Amino acid sequence: MSKLKFFHFLKLSLFTVFMGLYSLGLVSCASDEKKTDTAESTFAVAQEFEKDERFDEAIRKYTEVKNKYPYSQFATKAELAIADVYFKEESFGEAQINYQTFRELHPKHPQIDYVVFRIGLSFYNQLPETIDRDLTYAHDAISAFDEVSEKFPMSSFVKEAKEKKEEALKKLAEKEAYVGDFYFKRQVFDSALLRYEFLISNYPQSQIEEKALARAYFSSVKVGDKEKARKYLQLLKKNFPNSKELTLLKNIEEI
């Protein structure tokens, strides 16, 4: 075969391969378009993206279902799926907003217990890792968790809601103790006493109640409030009869 014929043959072969690939591309594109020409098919594509952790694309497709087919059963499913995808990718602020919006639009939805639980969990997951920062979302989380337990007592999410509530309460109690200890160490006993009293009243049976009672007693002695000092000493002895904190207080003047 001459060089000229060889190059001509090679050129034809490459052209054939190119056209074949081009045709496959057109078929593939046409197939994709066909896949998303209904609410159900678009929703299915969104689910595939979600499964593959292509979250931005999944949200885009779920949003397409919601906007193009608002009266389809898949529109409601897409609304909840969008919140779930945001939760999966740990965009908890966006998840919280979308769960709350879903709840407002569909208060009687059969999965409303799940939605309320996820609202609480979204708030909880936005809490900072350290207690010296703003813990406002803890109150929002507790409110949602309480609602799950009270309104949906048979829900499968009640157990976890109660567990998460206790964790949120623990953070709030530790925050009060942290601030109280700040004043206590600086011998600002009137401010310390206010914090310990708030902790004792609002977070009873917390793991740090023993320490709070002891320091509330100590602070009461220091500010000259004998009535409160007696009260907190009695509570300490009653609730923690073997308390090591009592030993630490042995040098405090007896009331």
Global pTM?
0.81
Distance CA 175, CA 90 (A): 25
> In the CATH scheme, what is the code of domain 187-255?
1.25.40.10
The number of beta carbons lying within 10 Å of the beta carbon of residue 25 is: 10
The closest alpha carbon to 77, from 91, 51, 85, belongs to: 85
Q: What's the rounded Cα separation, in Å, for the pair 86 and 104?
A: 18
How many angstroms separate the Cα of 191 from the Cα of each of 145, 182, 213, 223?
A: 31, 9, 15, 10
Nearest to 124 by CA among 101, 104, 99: 99
Q: How far apart are alpha carbons 213 and 56 in whole angstroms? A: 51
pLDDT (tens, 9 = 90+) of the chain, 255 residues, equals 554 444 444 444 444 444 444 444 433 444 344 466 899 999 999 999 999 999 999 999 999 999 999 999 999 999 999 999 999 999 999 999 999 999 999 999 999 999 999 999 999 999 999 999 999 999 999 999 999 999 999 999 999 999 999 999 999 999 999 999 999 999 999 999 999 999 999 998 888 999 999 999 999 999 999 999 999 999 999 999 888 887 776 655 444
> Does residue 183 contact residue 215 with C-beta atoms inside 8 Å?
no
Pick from 182, 179, 185, 184: which is nearest to 198 by CA? 179
